């Protein structure tokens, strides 16, 4: 793996760890409960949105695949979630996408990362610039998952991580 990707890979690995902990205690009904007086996103929507952006990361790394998430989880706002995958299916999709992402990071070259891409929403100009932003975006939404979960009375990500490390 090119040294440029090592901190991105480490950050994504932390996100994977925290998300797995958060989902372990969650039930299907709570995963679809929307915030902000039923107008905002649910945990399930956040996961679909993250999968959309991780699929976009694959394309930036030179390993594009069909993106099944953009329409429902980025182009449109959150819904009541009746058509969202189950938590088990989301976890399966997450694991598969994560494996593809790790493989793509292992083979990506500095030339791939330096490629000029369509200007991103925050001024990103190269594939690496967009990957850095998307890594931050990943962490932001996992924080949203933790916040929603905590508001529902579940243990928060910090509590879950500390318990996992102590075990």
The percent of residues above 90 in pLDDT, for the chain, comes to 81
Domain boundaries, the chain: 3-166
* Mean pLDDT within 57-85: 92
- pLDDT of amino acid 162: 92
Q: What is the DSSP letter of 83?
A: T
- pLDDT of amino acid 155: 93
Q: What CATH topology corresponds to 3-166? A: 1.20.120
Q: Show the tokens assigned to 121.
A: 């929403």
pLDDT greater than 80 at residue 103: yes
Q: Is 149 left (phi over 0), alpha (psi -120 to 50) or beta?
A: alpha
User: What is the average pLDDT value for the chain, to the nearest integer?
Assistant: 93
- pLDDT of amino acid 147: 93
Q: How far apart are the first and last CA of the chain?
A: 31
167 pLDDT tier (thresholds 50, 70, 90): confident
pLDDT greater than 80 at residue 1: yes
CA distances from 50 to 46, 63, 159, 164 (A): 6, 17, 22, 23
> 35-59, pLDDT tens digit by residue?
988 889 999 999 999 999 999 999 9
Closest CA to 55 of 93, 17, 91, 27: 93
> 108-124, pLDDT tens digit by residue?
999 999 999 887 777 88
> 128-158, pLDDT tens digit by residue?
999 999 999 999 999 999 999 999 999 999 9
Closest CA to 138 of 64, 55, 54: 54
Q: Show the tokens assigned to 23.
A: 């989902």
Count of alpha carbons within 13 angstroms of residue 35, beta-carbon side: 16
- pLDDT of amino acid 128: 96
């Amino acid at each position: 793996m090119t040294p440029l990707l090592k901190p991105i890979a480490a950050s994504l690995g932390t996100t994977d760890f925290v998300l797995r902990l958060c989902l372990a205690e969650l039930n299907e009904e709570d995963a679809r409960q929307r915030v902000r007086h039923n107008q905002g996103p649910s945990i399930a929507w956040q996961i679909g949105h993250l999968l959309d952006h991780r699929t976009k990361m694959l394309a930036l790394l030179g390993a594009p695949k069909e993106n099944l998430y953009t329409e429902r989880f980025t182009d449109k706002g959150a819904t009541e979630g009746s058509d969202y995958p189950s938590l088990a299916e989301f976890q399966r999709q997450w694991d598969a996408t994560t494996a593809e992402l790790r493989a793509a990071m292992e083979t990506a070259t500095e030339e791939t990362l330096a490629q000029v891409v369509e200007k991103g929403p925050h001024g990103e100009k190269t594939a690496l610039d967009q990957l850095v932003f998307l890594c931050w975006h990943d962490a932001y939404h996992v924080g949203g998952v933790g916040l929603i979960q905590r508001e529902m009375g579940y243990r928060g990500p910090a509590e879950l991580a500390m318990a996992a490390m102590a075990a």
